[in-house]
Amino acid sequence: MDASDQRCTDPTVLDLWHPLVAVSEMATDNVERTLLLGFEIMYGTDRDGTRFAVRVDEPDEALPVLDRHGYLWTSLGAPPADVFTIPETAEPDRRTLNAASIKVATSAPRAIENFLDMGHFPYVHTDYLGVEPHTEVAEYRVEIENDELWARDCFFYQPMAAASAVGGQLSEYTYRVPHPYCVMLYKSSPTDPSRSDVIGLFVQAMTQDTIRAHNFLSVIDETSSDTVLRRFQQIIFSQDKPILENQFPTRLPLDPRVETPIRADRSAIVYRRWLTELGLAYAVIPAG
Amino acid sequence: MITLYDYDLSVNCYKQRLLMSLLDVDYESVPVDFFPGWEHKSEAFRKINPLGHIPVLVDGDYVLRDAHAILVYLAAKYDPSGRWYPTDDPELLGEVAQWMLFAEGTTNTASAARLHDNLGYEFDVDTLRAGAHRLFRVLDEHLWFREQEAGPDGPAWVAAAPHPTVADLAIFPDVMLSEEGGISRLDYPALRRWTDRVRRLDRFVLMPGIHPVSAERPGPGPMAAGRS
């Protein structure tokens, strides 16, 4: 694919770690290709088990790689020492897996913002994450803390909140955006309400207008098979997909006057402001 | 009890779920980890279908593969009205068979383009999209003529009958999800009206990516309806 006109020059984005593939889906001794920020990337595992990634147009210069949260990450710039941490994944009885990596014709920030939005649950995820007439998004808190966006006290009535759910529940969500193109939510686990299931969307911006969305799951569920866990998340994500692909413009406008928010969009307002403060320019329409 | 080896995001599995819902037939869905697990290519699954694809239907001791063959079997066996697969009307049945073969074409172009765009299948997507447009143009024109034949009161379906047949279901999701393969339906108005009609059938069910049609029938058009 020729994406040379999509090549990222934004240092904010170049310096980030970006997910490329679920490590469990990498074949040994096989090189695969993908697109990241408009650059063709080759990645794989050497015979001695070492992961590698290179830009196809600069095959002699190894890119930095990290194996974190079940994915292979790389950076095209000068990345921080590590990818954000997810302390919950250290709990021994937790199951962490990739539900699916799915390509979508949208921009990375549109996908993040959709993930943060509760208002669409009853209409797009009917009978799963919401159902009419339970459409109200109650007031919630949004803060920037330690360079991450957090939204707390998010409550929503959900008829089937997870693969393991039996009947409806008032779910409490906490959203965390630890990276401009990665988002997670924590919600009480139906099988152990004292702990949270963690669901993430780690977005690989292939270009400004196309992504590969890596659906991360880390759940407490002794009974459901991997197939069943994946199935639930794939259904939810595939319900969102046509909505994402029909948003116009594809790139996220950061000027607060361009798209009119409502009170329920508070996390989106803060997210856009945060991207502006980071000076991020790739896959967005920067404010005036 | 009927068992369907099933994957929620597969158009060919959805065709079976849709027909069984329309016919009010109970079945058990066995989820197959098609992606990213490639379970349908596993040795265990090849014992069920040596071709390594889904759906597969098991009804008692009877095992059947291939989406459009399963539609034929289910309709012939479980539709007491005999409408969905009209075996007692040779001309209509011929037409249904003709459009079922057409559906192989829409599946192998439009839905294959969707696999390329969503899941990264290595197909020549430009050729697939061009092929899908060629078929959509033929179907759009056909449906426009069917609408003229059926008149204002009679909904028009793919085969020349006042009711839908398995041919409609075999083609429907390939068309309805075409935009996920980068194939716009903007130029096919009769195709869009037909997908609305399918979505208004009693006991219609959704699949992820297909959203409900608005409950109300659209008015006679912007000229007559005016602004409200």
- For A114-139, the pLDDT digits (tens) are 999 999 999 999 999 999 999 989 89
Rounded Cα gap, residues A270 and A27, in angstroms: 40
Chain A interface disruption, residue of B7, B29, B125, B180, most A CBs within 10 A: B180
Least confident of A207-221, B16-30, B202-216: B202-216
Given CB atoms, is B144 within the 8 Å cutoff of chain A?
no
User: What pLDDT shows up at residue A5?
Assistant: 77
How many interface pairs between A and B have CB atoms less than 8 angstroms apart?
56
pLDDT band at B222 (very low <50, low <70, confident <90, very high): very low
Positions of chain A with pLDDT lower than 50, given as ranges: none
Q: What are phi and psi of B174, to 5 degrees?
A: -60, -40
Rounded Cα gap, residues A209 and A228, in angstroms: 31
Mark yes or no for CB contact A105/B119 under 8 Å.
no
User: What pLDDT shows up at residue A1?
Assistant: 52
| Interface residues of chain A, partner chain B, Cβ below 8 Å | 22, 25, 98, 100-105, 124, 212, 226-228, 230-231, 234-239, 241-242, 245
Rounded Cα gap, residues B196 and B132, in angstroms: 20
User: What pLDDT shows up at residue B214?
Assistant: 78
Closest B-chain CA to A236: B208
User: What pLDDT shows up at residue A162?
Assistant: 87
Question: What ipTM was estimated for this complex?
Answer: 0.90
Of B35, B179, B208, the CB nearest to A239: B208
B158 burial type by CB count under 10 A (0-12 exposed, 13-18 middle, 19+ buried): buried
What's the mean pLDDT in B189-207? 97
Question: Could you report the per-residue pLDDT of B75-122, keeping only the tens digit for each?
Answer: 999 999 999 999 999 999 999 999 999 999 999 999 999 999 999 999
pLDDT band at B23 (very low <50, low <70, confident <90, very high): very high
Closest A-chain CA to B208: A239
Mark yes or no for CB contact A25/B32 under 8 Å.
no
Which domains are seen in chain B, by residue range? 2-78 (3.40.30.10), 90-199 (1.20.1050.10)
First to last CA, chain B: 52
Chain B interface disruption, residue of A106, A231, A232, A236, most B CBs within 10 A: A231
Encoded tokens for A215: 């659906």
User: What pLDDT shows up at residue A224?
Assistant: 93
Contacts of A209 in chain B (CB under 8 A): none
Contact (CB, 8 A) for B2 and B25: yes
Listed in order, the ranges of chain A carrying CATH 2.20.25.680 are 4-74
Tell me the CATH number for domain A4-74: 2.20.25.680
Contact (CB, 8 A) for B208 and B9: yes
Instruction: Look at the domain A87-285 and name its fold.
Output: Naphthalene 1,2-dioxygenase Alpha Subunit; Chain A, domain 1 (3.90.380)
User: What pLDDT shows up at residue B215?
Assistant: 64
User: What pLDDT shows up at residue B225?
Assistant: 33
User: What pLDDT shows up at residue B57?
Assistant: 98
The answer to whether residue B193 scores a pLDDT higher than 90 is: yes
Of A25, A105, A237, the CB nearest to B36: A25
Listed in order, the ranges of chain A carrying CATH 3.90.380.10 are 87-285
Query: Please, what is the Cα angle at A137 between A135 and A140, to 5 degrees?
Result: 165
User: What pLDDT shows up at residue B226?
Assistant: 33
Question: Could you report the per-residue pLDDT of A23-53, keeping only the tens digit for each?
Answer: 999 987 789 999 999 999 999 998 888 999 9
What's the mean pLDDT in B171-197? 97
Helix (H, G, I), strand (E, B) or coil at B186: coil
Of B31, B117, B120, the CB nearest to A227: B31
User: What pLDDT shows up at residue A171?
Assistant: 86
The closest alpha carbon to A170, from A187, A191, A151, A194, belongs to A187
